[in-house]
Amino acid sequence: MRWPLSLIVGLALSGVFAAAALVSFVWTPWPVEGISVASRLQTPSLSHWLGTDHLGRDILSMIMVGARTSIAVAVVAVGVGMVLGVPLGLLAAAVRGSWLDDLVMRGNDLIFAFPSLVIAILITAVFGPSAVNAILAIGIFNTPVFARVTRGAALSLWTLDYVRAARVAGKGRARISAEHVLPNIANLLIVQGTIQFSLGILAEAALSYVGLGAQPPLPSWGRMLADSQTMISFAPHLAVFPGLAIVLTVLGLNLMGDGLRDLLDPRLRRAR
């Protein structure tokens, strides 16, 4: 089947940033901690493609290393959400209608009703600002999303004949969930994972912008933006490029999510 255009564009965009993050482990155009007062606040040029900041550090190099932080935080936060949320959703669907199902879903609604950024701010404020605490704070709010998606999709699978056949064959609920339900909702989870990934990048950027995410010397896009704010009137390029990095990564992931959904679920595409 032909790949949707959004998937190709999305993959290309997110691929560029993933590659930049990987390459930054072995090579950056300039050393990231290379402070050089002589070359401070330069506008983009051939030697510094995206210019330099107030300490003379190369913006492109910092964006490349910052991609690592953003991607790592968002990936682990999605992982946390999946590891907690998917089993909860499977459990709720397997025991649908029981008090356990009710408990899981009410708990979900509750976390869902919280203003997540406020709580993330509370968590990082109390336990100290760090990348790990940012991951936890973002990951907790991913959990109900995955639980809900998993339960919804699993419920419809439980009514299908082959699941009934497995029950008749004597398989338990846990085994059916793992062997028959989970593989069939994997597509959906991948699509949701992509969306949560992009939301995670935005959340990480917001947290580190207010100083509650990754701490120096670890470069991060959000903090680059915070640092640039006081200099925006005379060095706008400092604010423009890290912001563009966030926008393009998030845009790429969103397009990828849309494209994957179209590719994996052709019915949805016709309906739209």
User: Can you give the binding site for another protein, defined by CB under 8 A?
Assistant: 106, 109-110, 113-119, 121-123, 125-128, 198, 202, 205-206, 209-210, 225, 228-229, 232-233, 236, 239-240, 243, 246-248, 250-251, 254-255, 272
Rounded Cα gap, residues 63 and 243, in angstroms = 10
How far apart (Å, rounded) are the C-alpha atoms in residues 189 and 150? 7
Instruction: Report the nearest approach of another protein to the CB of residue 113 (Å).
Output: 5
SS3 letters across 58-122:
EHHHHHHHHHHHHHHHHHHHHHHHHHHHHHHHHHHHHCCCCHHHHHHHHHHHHHHHCCHHHHHHH
75 or 117: whose CB is closer to another protein? 117
> In the bound complex, what is the minimum distance in angstroms from residue 217's beta carbon to another protein?
21
Supply angle C-alpha 110, 114, 120, rounded to 5.
125
Of 163 and 257, nearer to another protein (C-beta) is: 257
> Is 73 or 163 the residue whose CB approaches another protein more closely?
73
Closest to another protein by CB, 169 or 270: 270
Q: CB of 137: closest distance to another protein in angstroms?
A: 11
CB of 86 to another protein, least distance (A): 23
Rounded to whole angstroms, the Cα distance separating 98 from 81 reads 24
